[in-house]
Amino acid sequence: MAERQDRAARERARRYHARRTDHERRVARRRRDNIVAGVAGGLLVAAALGAQAAYFTPAAVPASSVPASPAPSLEGPTSPAPGP
C-alpha cells in the first residue's frame, strides 16, 4: 500500500512541476510579447510623427535657383494709351 501512495505522490509532484514550468513559460512569453509590441508601437508612432513633419515642413528653396523676374508694378501701364 505504501508503494501505491509513493507512486501517487510522485505523479502529483510531476504534474505540479509541469504546471509550474508551463505557467513560468507563459508569463515569460507574455512579458516578451508586451515588450515587442511596445517597441513596435513606439517605432510606428515615431515614423508617423516623422512623416507628418516631413510632409508639412515647407521645403527650403535656395536663392540661386529662383529665376530673376521683374516685379509687377502697381502704378499701371508705362506706355501711352492708344488714341482714338
Q: Is residue 80 part of a domain?
A: no
This prediction's pTM: 0.56
Q: What is the pLDDT of residue 52?
A: 95
Using alpha carbons only, what angle is made at residue 14 by residues 13 and 17, rounded to the nearest 5 degrees? 85
**Domain span holding position 29:** 2-59
Q: What is the pLDDT of residue 69?
A: 67
- Between the alpha carbon of residue 11 and those of residues 4, 6, 63, the distances in Å are 11, 9, 84
Q: Is residue 73 part of a domain?
A: no
**Residue 48, exposed/middle/buried by CB under 10 A (0-12, 13-18, 19+)?**
exposed
Q: Is residue 40 part of a domain?
A: yes
pLDDT in tens, the chain (84 residues): 889 999 999 999 999 999 999 999 999 999 999 999 999 999 999 999 999 999 999 887 666 655 566 666 666 556 666 666
